Chain A
Amino acid sequence: MRPRSLVVPIALRNGVLHSLQLLDNRMRLFNGRGGLGLGLTAKESHCAGIRRGARFSCRASKLLGITPIPDILDKRLVFVTGKGGVGKTTVAVALGLRAAEAGKRTIVCEVSSQENTSRIFDHTEVGFHEVKMAENLWSISIDPDESMREYVLLQLKVRAMRDLLFRSRIFSYLAAATPGLKELVTIGKIWELAQLDRKVKSGRKYDLVIVDAPATGHGIGFLQTPRTFAAIARVGPIHSQAQQLDRLITDQAHTGTAIVALPEEMPVNETAALESELRSEVGVAVDRIYLNGLYPERFSKEEAQRLGELAEGENGVARAAARAAASEYGRARSQRAQLARLRRRVEAPVKTLPFLFEPELGVKAAGQLARKLS
């Protein structure tokens, strides 16, 4: 049950509506987050339970012409998945930027060791460290071997014993041979990051953990790991931990899943297949589908026709420009058809993101997308 609360919009700053939230007996829920930009001390905002971008204020912010933050960002953990090359990392970072701007302490996790996130921020490689990228925004690249070391340490409690264990060839061999163990400890690390009471000493508390999940093919396997693992390890501590992770993934109140797609024939087919597989195989209902890279509709049908005719009779730059316009019309139109097809085939709400005419998709582009997220 949601706590009873009263939210009063009190100030508008940097395009974010700040609101005072008075909670009855569960003020802790929103403690110590946000409000810092208002000139209140951390302690004052802690006492008042001030929260930026709170749900109640959504209506008010709409009236003021400000898009409220997407409700998927109200969760504690969000998996961003989809096939390769659709812009998963950019969307994950955009979601992170949006949440961070709304005052949520957010971390974007990468699991492929490709350091795509740090590259977007033009930052040096972050590795297995929680590194600050922007105000309220951190990033980590989750390495399975490091996760394994951390996990075993948490189990054994004694560092020397852990190190002894990792020097043993039998141990590393068995760990490598156990199917799914790497993925499992990776998800375990994600779980750890999402805890308010971090297991890792001096761990920062995050309001939101965003995971740039592996591309599909591997994607569904990744989210399915805990379930599979709980089945092969029938007993023992890892069995119950795997079950716990499976509950985390399928906990709709706190965990969200977004699929990123492109407005093309096959990506649309694959997105529909992925959504239904996630539902049937993993027990996850997808919250959002972001259709990325949608061209603007710059020309009407009549205009495209006129431009096509003009191109025939022209040469040089006017012809090239007219042809480019006619192509743009055709692509924008076929993309709209794909969008309609996707909407017919999936259950989750489909939100569109514009194609960015940017040479490279860096932090500027991610920021542009962040403002378009709904």
Chain B
Amino acid sequence: MPPVDEILEGKDICICAGSGGVGKTTTSAAIAAGMAARGLRVCVLTIDPAKRLADSLGLRELGNEATQVDPELFEQHGVEMKGELWAMMLDAKATFDELVARQAPDEESRDRVLNNRIYQQISNALAGSQEYMAMEKLFELHTEGRFDLLVLDTPPTRNALDFLEAPRRLTQFIEGRSLRVFMKPTGLAAKVAGRGASVALSVFKRIVGFDLLADLAEFFNAFSGMVDGFQARAKRVNSLLADPHTCFLVVCGPQGEPINEAVYFHRKLVEAKMPFGGVIVNKVHYPAERLRGDSADLEGTLTAKLGDDDLAQRVTENFADYQALAERDARNIEHLAKELRTTGVIRVPYLDEDVHDLGGLAEINRYLFATSEERVELAAGRGAA
């Protein structure tokens, strides 16, 4: 597979997607840093509440505004920064509030929504709202056109696909046909308070209580003036995602489960007609360099060299364990490549050191921005594991 800079040639947006715990945040940061070092003005967006990206980039605080990463930090790690790297940690609630303010016809309707308890819950905690707001911010930044490339680290959802459906789900939520009925003066609010309520409504009221239902009714009423605006915007967000200038990179780990999820995710992307760019497998155990000589009597050889049969035995066992992991990884990646009908996969090795700073990102980029052949050589050069 070609290096990342070739894959992202001419792209405005790069979306890193994958299940949790596979190093998506680190990969997003590394890609953004690498592209910036090559001369682009890049902004990386994350909505991870764990503030991992801030750690990776040596930023104390990330707000809902883009902040530039000090280029000197890169130079300290021997990376020449030709462009600019910006980072933003998305505050879903603030983004939602901004969106409501923009869509509201007047201040009064804005405040009615912002002060509604149902809205406050949705904008804060509802699964899916973070995803939607990530898309929203991406759209906003893209429209502003301040950056050459936007890199999005998708949220750690239970299902890596949640964010693809988020715009649709949210608009469905506020636009449903049943909702139109509620929003009439004789709609839900009236029904909740009045006597002519349907069985369904009265049962629902019995279960959740009058209060909550009244809040819901108020929420829908308050939102009624904004439905069209939200709808139109969600459509534009969706077409931005499917645009040929957008590129989805699937990030995964080499174990069976993450590989299966990556296969599934790729299939969904294709079904949704989203532009797929490639797959990055992190923490791969590369097999040992091509072995010369006889590996059969490794223990004997080592005993002779080390003069310590106990140590030789432990080294041999350890080597066998790692080779087994390398074989597993190779098998899984072969399966992945076959399923994705792609010839190559970017494999980033399991590095000796944990990656959590710019030095680590630079180390990862040696692989991400290398050709397949260079990658194999790099891995061979750094050792067997």
CB within 8 Å of B: which residues of A?
Answer: 83-86, 112, 114, 116, 119, 152, 155-156, 161, 164-165, 168-171, 173-181, 214-218, 221, 224, 228, 232-239, 264-266, 269-270, 273, 298-299, 303, 306-307, 310-311, 314-328, 330-331, 334, 338, 357, 359-361
Contact = CB atoms under 8 A, between A and B. Distances in A.
B383 interface: yes
A316 B258 contact: no
Contacts of B385: 323-324, 327-328
A221 B158 CA distance: 13
A156 to B, nearest CB: 7
B379 to A, nearest CB: 12
A180 B121 contact: yes
Given A169-B178, A177-B220, A361-B255, 7 more contacts: A177-B216, A180-B125, A215-B20, A218-B127, A310-B306, A319-B384, A321-B318
A137 to B, nearest CB: 21
B281 to A, nearest CB: 13
B19 interface: yes
A85 B208 contact: no
A74 to B, nearest CB: 30
Secondary structure at chain A's binding surface: helix, strand, loop or mixed? Answer: helix
B69 interface: no
A299 B314 contact: yes
B207 A164 contact: no
Contacts of B315: 299, 307, 321-322, 324-325
Interface string B235-270: 000000000000000000101111000000000000
Nearest to A359: B328
A170 B118 contact: no
Interface residues of B, number: 79
Given A178-B212, A233-B208, A334 B353 contact: yes
Contact of A233 (B126, B179, B209, B311): B209
A324 B257 CA distance: 25
A303 B288 CA distance: 21
A159 to B, nearest CB: 14
B322 A324 contact: yes
B324 interface: yes
A233 B121 contact: no
A221 B157 CA distance: 13
Contacts of B22: 85
Nearest to A176: B173
B158 A215 contact: yes
Contacts of A217: 20, 48-50, 155-156
Centre residue among A86, A307, A310 by max chain B CB count within 10 A: A307
B80 interface: no
Contacts of A299: 311, 314-315, 318
A324 B317 CA distance: 10
A235 B298 contact: no
